[in-house]
Amino acid sequence: MLDLKGKVAIVTGSATGIGRSIALALADHGCNIVINYTRSEDEARETLGEVERRGVEALLAQADVSVDDDCRRVVAAALERWQRVDVLVNNAGITTFVPFEKLDDLTEDVWDRIFAVNVKGAFLMARAAATALKTSGNGAIVNVSSIAGIHASGSSIPYAASKAALHNLTTSLARVLGPEVRVNAVAPGFVETRWLERGYGERLHAIRKLVKQKTPLGTTAGPEHVARAVVALVTGMDFVTGQIIAVDGGFLVGR
């Protein structure tokens, strides 16, 4: 198992939700953390405090991952502080909640912004960190995707399409960054987060009930379930690359 003590991980979109849980889980293993946020500075600072209480160091980095200069600045800040980057978790993502049948509600701006963050952002961060990750000697990238990219479901058509593209990007990066860097993705299903509460509103209860009925494990996930999968890919699966790991309680296989 890879020892993360003293290593450095950049976790994008880590002020809240799944990203926050990933940052804390990596910190629990002794990893120093770059906490990235776009707008949620207060919550990012709370996450910073939680990370530091675990006895490791942390750095705040405000950046929009869809902007190349911002991505390079985040990596440069990590290198200036610790002279290394060992892990990159591309967790930052956005969506617009639009029922699939409402095609006319999907403007070009919606498509462009979702792909800019969910796909281009992951590429830009990977490119910015590639040299440092290769130098690490045991670098790892984990992209946080969604079963929407497999199942063509979720919050909207462009969101699902962006996650399918992220799966393809994961495969491409695994090919070109190996053998020094392993690149994998986790694809969560329904995860209990504020994101879904805000997006689905009153429909959330019915959706949650349906998901539980169709999931072999009979329940929904919390952010910590996704975080554990990320840690497993980083620390234990040292001969795994280019893979998409569904973290969905078996929803995709159904029952």
Residue 49 has pLDDT above 90, yes or no: yes
Find the distance separating the first CA and the last CA of the chain, reported in whole Å.
34
Average pLDDT value for residue range 29-56: 97
Task: Kindly state whether residue 141 falls inside one of the protein's structural domains.
Answer: yes
- Sign, CA dihedral 159-42-79-57, equals negative
φ, ψ for residue 106, nearest 5 deg:
-95, 95
Check residue 128 and report its DSSP letter: H
Determine whether 200 is an active site residue.
no
The tokens describing 8, both together, are 């450095």
- The string of pLDDT tens digits covering residues 169-188 is 999 999 999 999 999 999 99
Residues 9 and 240: their CA atoms lie apart, in Å, by 19
- Sorted by sequence, the CB contacts under 8 Å of residue 43 that are 6+ apart come out as 15, 16, 20, 37
- Sign, CA dihedral 162-168-173-176, equals negative
| Pick from 213, 102, 78: nearest CA to 158 | 102
pLDDT band at 202 (very low <50, low <70, confident <90, very high): confident
| Percentage of the chain modeled with pLDDT above 90 | 86
Residue from 37, 115, 123, 159 carrying the catalytic annotation: 159
Task: Kindly state whether residue 1 falls inside one of the protein's structural domains.
Answer: no
Q: What is the CATH number of the domain that holds 179?
A: 3.40.50.720
**Which residue would you say has higher pLDDT here, 255 or 79?**
79
| pTM (whole model) above 0.75 | yes
Task: Kindly state whether residue 121 falls inside one of the protein's structural domains.
Answer: yes
Task: Kindly state whether residue 254 falls inside one of the protein's structural domains.
Answer: no
Domain range spanning residue 193? Answer: 8-246
- Sorted by sequence, the CB contacts under 8 Å of residue 236 that are 6+ apart come out as 1, 2
Average pLDDT, the chain: 95
Task: Kindly state whether residue 143 falls inside one of the protein's structural domains.
Answer: yes
pLDDT value of position 217: 95
Task: Kindly state whether residue 252 falls inside one of the protein's structural domains.
Answer: no
Domain count, the chain: 1
Residue 205 has pLDDT above 90, yes or no: no
Task: Kindly state whether residue 70 falls inside one of the protein's structural domains.
Answer: yes
